[in-house]
């Protein structure tokens, strides 16, 4: 009897203990993000002491160090936070919506739509400003998302995970073909897009941030509002309906959130690989498959990872720089392979 009572008590305590571990993980991710932010503000072609960084943030005295921090590094760091959070949450959403742990933000054709929008703005309309690129990339992302949902929702079954993945593959191929054709016909556009297509935080400025901030904010709020129905979807469509979840409404809202998040991030910094794929796996390894914890952790870990990659790119070939997209690809691929080889892929 004593043993049974002890076992029962342990079972009752385990959820509380698990939530305590998850809470600690969130605080740890916050500290990691804070460290990444400080490094991003302090490290570059000209590194600055942390005391100088803190003084400049508290009081802009017009010095060279203050100008470097406020005019260059603060916008770059904020762009990394916004784009990283958007890609991390978008990756977790896509993996939950499609019930595919290997899905990433490019699966639904959103990145291809954004890239095609940038190509059209340069080649067809002759608009070369960053402002125009951001807005046309968002337009292309939204159009791609709408077309994917229109393709997937046809028929009696509705927008099933399989239909979403197949529809995304078709739309991605179409938009990629359009973009590549236009680039081959315009050498100037090809030269300009060569840098954008790698993925970099270097071009981010205040105007970029004010443009993408509303889209990222709405996308994150919409994603966090879907955590309970997403947990229900993990049981399958029938199981989700039995729990009272609106399956089609949840998938549409999730796709809308992914479109806003991926479109905003891609338009600002270009397509960044492995962030949206690997970070949700890390979050699920820490907190399990509960979306109430996976999405917030992804929102914190992804920008920290992106900022660390950006800082590393500034110092490895100093005084030149490696784009963040190159660093995430070089580091992310072997890290993700190691995760898959040494631990099972954590399901959504």
Q: Mean pLDDT, the chain, as a whole number?
A: 83
The model carries a pTM of: 0.86
Q: CB-based contacts of 206: which residues, under 8 Å, 6+ apart?
A: 75
- What number is the average pLDDT over the span 138-145? 87
Residue 192: predicted pLDDT: 67
Q: Tell me: the pLDDT tens digits for 59-84?
A: 877 788 888 889 889 999 999 999 99
Residue 8: predicted pLDDT: 44
**Percent of the chain surpassing pLDDT 70:** 88
Residue 281: predicted pLDDT: 87
- What number is the average pLDDT over the span 314-320? 84
Residue 224: predicted pLDDT: 93
Distance separating alpha carbons of residues 10 and 104, to the nearest angstrom: 38
Q: How far is CA 214 from CA 90, 209, 221, in A?
A: 16, 9, 11
Closest residue by Cα to residue 224 from 299, 306, 168, 152 = 299
Does residue 187 or residue 22 have the better pLDDT?
22
Burial of 83 per CB tally in 10 Å (0-12, 13-18, 19+): buried
Residue 80: predicted pLDDT: 94
Q: Is 43 left (phi over 0), alpha (psi -120 to 50) or beta?
A: beta
Q: Report the length, in residues, of the chain.
A: 348
Residue 310: predicted pLDDT: 93
């Amino acid at each position: 009897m004593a043993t049974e009572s002890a076992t029962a008590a342990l079972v009752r305590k385990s959820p509380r203990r698990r939530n305590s571990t998850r809470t600690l993980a969130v605080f740890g991710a916050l500290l990691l993000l804070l460290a990444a932010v400080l490094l991003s503000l302090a490290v570059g072609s000209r590194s600055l002491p942390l005391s100088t960084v803190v003084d400049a943030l508290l009081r802009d005295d017009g010095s060279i160090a203050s100008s470097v921090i406020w005019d260059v590094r603060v916008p770059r760091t904020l762009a990394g936070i916004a784009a990283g959070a958007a890609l991390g949450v978008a990756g977790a959403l896509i993996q939950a919506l499609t019930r595919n742990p290997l899905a990433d933000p490019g699966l639904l054709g959103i990145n291809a739509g954004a890239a095609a929008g940038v190509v059209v703005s340069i080649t067809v309309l002759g608009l070369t400003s960053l402002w125009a690129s951001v807005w046309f990339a968002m337009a292309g992302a939204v159009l791609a998302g709408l077309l994917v949902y229109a393709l997937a929702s046809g028929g009696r079954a509705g927008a099933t995970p399989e239909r979403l993945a197949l529809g995304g593959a078709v739309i991605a191929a179409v938009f990629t073909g359009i973009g590549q054709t236009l680039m081959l016909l315009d050498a100037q556009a090809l030269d300009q897009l060569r840098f954008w297509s790698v993925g970099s935080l270097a071009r981010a400025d205040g105007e970029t941030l004010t443009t993408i901030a509303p889209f990222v904010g709405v996308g994150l709020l919409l994603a966090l509002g879907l955590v309970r129905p997403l947990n229900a979807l993990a049981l399958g469509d029938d199981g989700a309906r039995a729990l009272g979840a609106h399956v089609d409404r949840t998938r549409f809202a999730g796709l809308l959130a992914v479109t806003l998040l991926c479109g905003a991030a891609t338009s600002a910094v270009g397509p960044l690989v492995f962030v949206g794929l690997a970070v949700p796996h890390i979050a699920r390894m820490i907190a399990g498959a509960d979306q109430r914890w996976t999405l917030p952790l992804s929102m914190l870990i992804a920008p920290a990872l992106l900022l660390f990659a950006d800082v590393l790119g500034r110092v490895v070939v100093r005084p030149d720089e490696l784009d963040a997209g190159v660093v995430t690809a070089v580091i992310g691929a072997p890290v993700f392979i190691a995760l898959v080889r040494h631990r099972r892929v954590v399901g959504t």
